[in-house]
Amino acid sequence: MLVALYNRTFEGQDVAVLQNIIKMLEHHNLHMVFYKDFYEHLAPHVTFKKEPKIFTSKKDLPPQTDMLFSLGGDGTMLDAVCFVGNSNIPLIGINLGRLGFLAAIPEEEVEGAIISLVRGSYTLEKRTLVHLDSSIPLFDGAPFALNEFTIHRKDSSSMIKIHTYLNGEFLNTYWADGLIVATPTSSTGYSLSCGGPVVFPQTSSFVITPVSPHNLNTRSIVVPDDNVISFEVEGRTDQFLCTLDSRTETVHNSIQLAVKKETFTVSLVRPDEHNFLNTIRQKLYWGIDRRN
């Protein structure tokens, strides 16, 4: 089995954990290919039994890779999505960060997770992505996101107006700081913090959630993911911010934007003992009540 390893922010405090993960992978005879920057930071601290392969982009990630390990937090997982793209390489998230909805496997469960992978005792959850169509190229050839697409006012501007359409039919004009189009995967993230609902990952839907709306009776709406959602943006300045997950572009309001469901999915690896209900109970503390 060939596994790729990715980490975007090398922290000295994680060296011992990373050393242990490498040893466990080698113990189970898993071959490794490292993200170049990660390898260069890690190499002085680890002795490898065999010199690993290196990748720097999606283009040189070996197509025979069986799995990509994301070592970090949820932001690291979102970066990793850009590496796998439509390659069908599954992602597994080892949580070295804080909350960890996507990178759901904590340090103490890594060995058990690796054993599950070797035994084949895991499931692959296919997750929907959101795709951005724009009148000019944006986001460097990767116009897709696992979590969300957002429109935001720039720091220097006042509230913006976002005219929003479903399949060309007018939905609403949002007077707000911004607007989120969240996938089911992201319903427990930014959208939730802005008052949006929690949606099961398998739900065929998008959640449209305004950010700090001026009209307080404007709420989130769940729409089928076969809709094309398009936008026209007005404001006191002629530029606004557009994001796909953690990537940001500054966009002129003359640029045409629309989002829809991406034509491919991304697979997340879940050891058999992990599932969505367990995750929301642990991370959101649902059911943690003294009366229970």
At 151, which amino acid appears?
A: I
Q: Using 50, 70 and 90 to split pLDDT, how confident is the model at 254?
A: very high
207: nearest Cα among 267, 149, 278, 143: 149
List of residues 6+ apart from 12 with CB closer than 8 A: none
Domain at 2-128+265-283, CATH class: alpha beta
Assign 290 a pLDDT band (cuts: 50, 70, 90).
low
In whole angstroms, what is the distance from residue 153 CA to residue 207 CA?
Answer: 20
Tell me the pLDDT band of 292, cut-offs 50, 70 and 90: low
Confidence tier at 231 by pLDDT (50, 70, 90): very high
* Residue 145: per-residue pLDDT: 97
CATH 2.60.200.30 maps onto the chain at: 130-261
Backbone angles phi, psi at 254, to 5 degrees: -85, -10
Structure tokens at 256: 């045409």
Q: Tokens representing 76?
A: 């690291």
pLDDT of residue 52: 87
Mean pLDDT rounded to a whole number for the chain: 90
Write out the residue limits of the CATH 3.40.50.10330 domain(s) in the chain: 2-128+265-283
Cα torsion angle, 35, 57, 185, 150, sign: positive
pLDDT category of residue 47 using cuts at 50, 70 and 90: confident
Active site residues: 74
List, for residues 69-118, the tens digit of each pLDDT value: 999 988 999 999 999 999 999 999 998 876 677 887 888 888 888 888 88
Token pair of 71, please?
Answer: 């070592």
Assign 94 to helix, strand or coil.
strand
Task: Summarize the confidence of residues 232-236 as an average pLDDT.
Answer: 93
| Beta strand 67-72 pairing with 2-6 | parallel
Residue 71: per-residue pLDDT = 92
Rounded to whole angstroms, the Cα distance separating 179 from 194 reads 10
Instruction: Give the rounded percent of residues in the chain with a pLDDT score beyond 70.
Output: 97
pLDDT of 68 over the 70 cut: yes
Superfamily covering domain 130-261: Probable inorganic polyphosphate/atp-NAD kinase; domain 2 (2.60.200.30)
Place of tokens 């949580």: 95
For residues 191 and 186, give the distance between their C-alpha atoms in angstroms, rounded to a whole number: 7
pLDDT-derived band at 168 (thresholds 50, 70, 90) equals: very high
Greater model confidence, 151 or 286 = 151
Q: How far apart are CA 160 and CA 152, in angstroms?
A: 8
d(CA 117, CA 145): 26
């398009």: which residue's tokens?
A: 230
pLDDT tens-digit series, residues 171-225:
999 999 999 999 999 998 899 999 999 999 999 999 999 999 998 889 999 999 9
Q: What is the mean pLDDT of residues 116-137?
A: 92
Going by C-alpha positions, the residue among 197, 203, 74 that lies closest to residue 127 is 203
- Is the pLDDT reported for residue 230 higher than 80? yes
Nearest alpha carbon to residue 195 among 171, 174, 218, 176: 218
What is the per-residue pLDDT for 11?
Answer: 80
